[in-house]
C-alpha cells in the first residue's frame, strides 16, 4: 500500500486530494497547521489508513516509517489570506518547502510542489505556457504569494539537480468546488455567497478581466497523473475555457433566476487582467484535460454552498 504525506491537507484542495488518494488505496498522512484549513474538510476521512497531524511545516517535519510520495500543498492561497498573512505565506513557500524537500530526501520519496498560475503575474503572454517566465511585481502586495511560489519552484529544481530527487511541479489555475471557504475572497465563492444571500454581486474594475475555471475533481486527477508521470518540469493544470468575470456573474444570475444587482469596485493592485492556461503539455505528457463543464461544476458548487449557508456555517 503506497504511503503519502499531504501538507496543507485540511485545505480546500488538500482535503480533496486526501480523499482521492484514500479511494486509490493509499495510506494518507494529512499535515496542516489549520491557519486556513479546517478539520471539517477532513472529518469524514478518518479511518485506519488516514492520519491527521497538526503541524506547521516551516518547522522540522518528523514522520515515522517510510513515505513514497509527498504532495506539498501547504500555503495560504487566496488574496485575502496571503494579504492577511504575508509573512506566513513567504515562510511556508521558503522554509516550508525546504523542510518538506528535506523530508523527501531523507525518505527518498517522490515530491510534488503545488505551485500556481500566479508565477506568471499579470501576464504579457496569452495564453500562458510553462516556458513563459512571467511578469511579477516582487514588492507589490501580491508579491508575497507570487514570489514565494517562484522561490519554491527554484528550490524544487535545485533539489532535483543537486540531489537527484524525483520532483514534480504543478502550476494550478483557478479552481472551484465544494469546501471552498465562503469568505476567502476568490471570485466563485464570493459571487455565490452574495447571490444566495441576496446581496449585490461584487465586480472589481469593469469585470472584463478574464479567468479560466477548473472544477476541483479535474484538478486533483491532473495532480495525481503528474505525480505518477516521469515528467520533471512544471505543468499547467487548469481549464483553458476563458471567460470574463462579469459574464460569470451573469451566468450565476441566470442559473439561479435571481436579479441581484452588480456592484462595481476598484480593481485591486496587480490584479491579473487575463488568465488562461495553455494545457498542451498536460495533454501530451499526462493524457489529461478537464471533463467537468462549467455549468455542471457551478451547479454542484452552488448546491453545496446553499447547504452550508442553510446550516449557518461561516467558512
Residue 315: the pLDDT is 56
DSSP 185: -
Residue 138 gets the label, from left (phi > 0), alpha (psi -120 to 50) or beta, of: alpha
What's the rounded Cα separation, in Å, for the pair 285 and 164? 21
Residue 258's domain comprises: 180-211+241-275+292-310
Domain co-membership, 202 together with 220: no
Domain co-membership, 184 together with 74: no
Query: Is residue 285, in this structure, part of any structural domain at all?
Result: no
Q: Whole-prediction pTM value?
A: 0.96
Query: Is residue 16, in this structure, part of any structural domain at all?
Result: yes
Domain co-membership, 35 together with 160: yes
Compute φ and ψ for 274, nearest 5 degrees: -140, 150
Active site residues: 145
Domain co-membership, 263 together with 149: no
Q: Which three cell numbers stand for residue 250?
A: 451573469
- The mean pLDDT value for 178-204 works out to 94
pLDDT digit string, tens, across residues 268-307: 887 888 899 999 999 999 999 999 999 999 999 999 999 9
> At 53, which CATH number?
3.40.50.720
- The mean pLDDT value for 94-123 works out to 97
Query: Is residue 25, in this structure, part of any structural domain at all?
Result: yes
Residue 102: the pLDDT is 98
Domain co-membership, 118 together with 259: no
Domain co-membership, 159 together with 232: yes
| Closest-CA residue to 262 (of 281, 286, 245, 279) | 245
Domain count, the chain: 2
Amino acid at each position: 500500500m503506497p504511503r503519502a504525506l499531504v501538507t496543507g491537507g485540511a485545505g480546500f484542495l488538500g482535503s480533496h486530494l486526501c480523499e482521492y488518494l484514500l479511494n486509490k488505496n493509499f495510506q494518507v498522512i494529512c499535515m496542516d497547521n489549520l491557519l486556513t484549513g479546517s478539520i471539517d474538510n477532513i472529518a469524514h476521512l478518518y479511518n485506519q489508513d488516514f492520519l491527521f497531524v497538526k503541524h506547521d511545516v516551516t518547522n522540522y517535519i518528523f514522520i515515522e516509517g517510510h513515505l513514497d510520495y509527498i504532495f506539498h500543498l501547504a500555503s495560504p492561497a487566496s488574496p485575502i489570506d496571503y494579504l492577511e498573512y504575508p509573512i506566513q505565506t513567504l515562510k511556508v513557500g521558503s522554509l516550508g518547502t525546504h523542510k518538506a524537500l528535506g523530508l523527501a530526501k531523507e525518505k527518498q520519496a517522490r515530491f510534488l510542489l503545488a505551485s500556481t498560475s500566479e508565477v506568471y503575474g499579470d501576464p504579457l503572454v496569452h495564453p500562458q505556457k510553462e516556458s513563459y517566465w512571467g511578469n511579477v511585481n516582487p514588492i507589490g502586495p501580491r508579491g508575497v504569494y507570487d514570489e514565494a511560489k517562484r522561490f519554491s519552484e527554484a528550490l524544487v529544481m535545485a533539489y532535483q539537480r543537486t540531489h537527484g530527487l524525483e520532483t514534480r511541479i504543478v502550476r494550478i489555475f483557478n479552481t472551484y468546488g465544494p469546501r471552498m471557504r465562503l469568505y476567502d475572497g476568490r471570485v466563485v465563492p464570493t459571487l455565490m455567497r452574495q447571490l444566495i444571500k441576496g446581496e449585490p454581486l461584487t465586480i472589481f474594475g469593469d469585470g472584463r478581466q478574464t479567468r479560466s475555471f477548473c472544477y476541483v475533481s479535474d484538478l486533483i486527477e491532473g495532480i495525481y497523473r503528474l505525480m505518477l508521470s516521469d515528467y520533471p518540469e512544471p505543468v499547467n493544470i487548469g481549464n483553458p475555457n476563458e471567460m470574463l468575470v462579469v459574464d460569470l456573474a451573469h451566468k450565476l444570475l441566470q442559473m439561479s433566476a435571481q436579479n441581484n444587482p452588480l456592484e462595481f469596485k476598484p480593481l485591486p493592485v496587480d490584479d491579473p487582467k487575463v488568465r488562461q492556461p495553455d494545457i498542451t503539455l498536460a495533454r501530451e505528457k499526462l493524457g489529461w484535460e478537464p471533463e467537468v463543464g462549467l455549468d455542471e461544476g457551478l451547479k454542484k458548487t452552488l448546491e453545496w454552498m446553499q447547504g452550508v449557508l442553510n446550516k449557518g456555517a461561516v467558512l
